[in-house]
């Protein structure tokens, strides 16, 4: 089973008309979940247990204050893509709290799998920089929180958004306790222009960043091949204690943001794959954060299929999910 963390407060972050990251994304997703067998899995986060000081696990005090002040008079923060309203700071803060609530939940309750349906997204946000519709790095703060308050040391972050998670990479680039793995469209063709093969970490973190850029038009089979060849071996090598996921569904062939050709079925397979790997290596601990996906009906369909796979009782070996005739003999 998978729990789904959601609160209507996440709809209060208003962006300018026509902005890809609008509240309609989340409205469509939650409506689809409520019309599915997953309806009873939705839980409301409790915010009062957390404080603004926890943002300091990743972000600087000056950056936090700059963002807080900007919503009083500005329509964007640091970059025109980062559309804001007077509620944006509070909503972004509560999105972080929802992730921390999710972490506390799976560390002390069953099930140990949880999906945070919040916005704004987070993986482009750096320590002192907002970028790509992101203000606070939800997944990075969650990783540091888990290390500090739950005592886990080895965390694997897997990012399958069509865009590279530059903020997450930068935050952990010199860290050997957090392994960052990303499959994304090649940075030559897509924002933010980072995430090349040779970006592998620095200092203690050398070898703890793995980027797998895909050429435009890459399809389900190409994703499956690199997942088996490059991602799965990291679990055997690193042996993470918990799996955190930046889940972007904008690689879908119907999404207007990127150029990848993934189908809804890929996200169902990926749900099974992450369930299998978290059960095998992480005692079942799996926390998933919603990132991109900008065509509301396609986002909703993709996420529901992804969650359906996490929610049922099937355990499917990751090689059975992605192995094709072309790959026989490789593994």
CA 172 from centre of chain: 15
C-alpha angle 62-200-230 in degrees, rounded to nearest 5: 125
What is the β-pairing status of strands 155-159 and 242-247? parallel
Residue 7, helix vs strand vs coil: coil
Helix axes 88-108, 138-150, angle to 10 degrees: 40
- Contact between 64 and 56 under an 8 Å Cβ cutoff? The reply is yes
Strands (E), 227-331: 242-247, 286-290
Gap between the Cα atoms of 257 and 7, Å rounded: 26
- Count of CB atoms situated within 10 Å of the CB of 126: 19
- Contact between 213 and 200 under an 8 Å Cβ cutoff? The reply is no
Query: Which of 103, 96, 324 has the alpha carbon at shortest distance from 223?
Result: 324
The catalytic site residues sit at 124
Listed as own residue / partner, the contacts of 190-199 with beta carbons closer than 8 Å and 24 or more positions apart are: 190/162, 190/163, 190/258, 190/259, 191/132, 191/163, 192/124, 192/131, 192/132, 192/163, 192/164, 192/166, 194/164, 194/166, 194/169, 195/164, 195/165, 195/166, 195/169, 199/169
What is the β-pairing status of strands 3-5 and 113-116? parallel
């Amino acid at each position: 089973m998978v729990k789904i963390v959601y609160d209507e407060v996440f709809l209060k972050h208003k962006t300018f008309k026509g902005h890809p990251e609008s509240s309609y994304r989340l409205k469509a997703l939650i409506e689809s979940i409520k019309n599915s067998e997953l309806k009873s899995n939705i839980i409301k986060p409790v915010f009062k247990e957390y404080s603004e000081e926890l943002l300091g696990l990743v972000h600087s005090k000056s950056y936090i204050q700059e963002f807080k002040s900007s919503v009083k008079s500005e329509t964007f923060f640091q970059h025109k893509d980062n559309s804001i309203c007077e509620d944006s700071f509070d909503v972004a803060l509560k999105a972080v709290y929802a992730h921390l609530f999710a972490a506390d939940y799976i560390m002390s309750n069953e099930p140990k799998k949880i999906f945070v349906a919040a916005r704004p997204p987070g993986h482009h946000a750096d320590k002192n920089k907002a970028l790509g519709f992101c203000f606070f790095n939800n997944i990075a703060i969650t990783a540091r929180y888990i290390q500090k308050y739950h005592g886990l040391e080895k965390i694997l972050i897997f990012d399958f958004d069509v865009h590279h998670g530059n903020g997450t990479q930068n935050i952990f680039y010199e860290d050997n306790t957090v392994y960052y793995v990303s499959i994304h469209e090649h940075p030559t063709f897509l924002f933010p222009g980072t995430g090349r093969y040779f970006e592998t970490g620095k200092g203690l973190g050398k070898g703890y960043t793995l980027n797998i850029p895909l050429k435009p038009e890459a399809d389900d089979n190409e994703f499956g091949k690199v997942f088996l060849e490059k991602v799965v071996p990291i679990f055997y090598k690193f042996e993470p204690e918990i799996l955190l996921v930046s889940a972007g569904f904008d690689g879908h062939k119907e999404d207007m943001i990127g150029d990848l050709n993934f189908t809804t079925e890929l996200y169902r397979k990926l749900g099974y794959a992450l369930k299998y790997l978290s059960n095998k290596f992480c005692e079942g601990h799996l926390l998933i954060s919603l990132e991109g996906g900008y065509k509301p009906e396609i986002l909703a369909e993709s996420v529901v299929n992804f969650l359906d796979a996490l929610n049922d009782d099937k355990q499917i070996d990751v090689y059975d999910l992605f192995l094709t005739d072309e790959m026989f003999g490789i593994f």
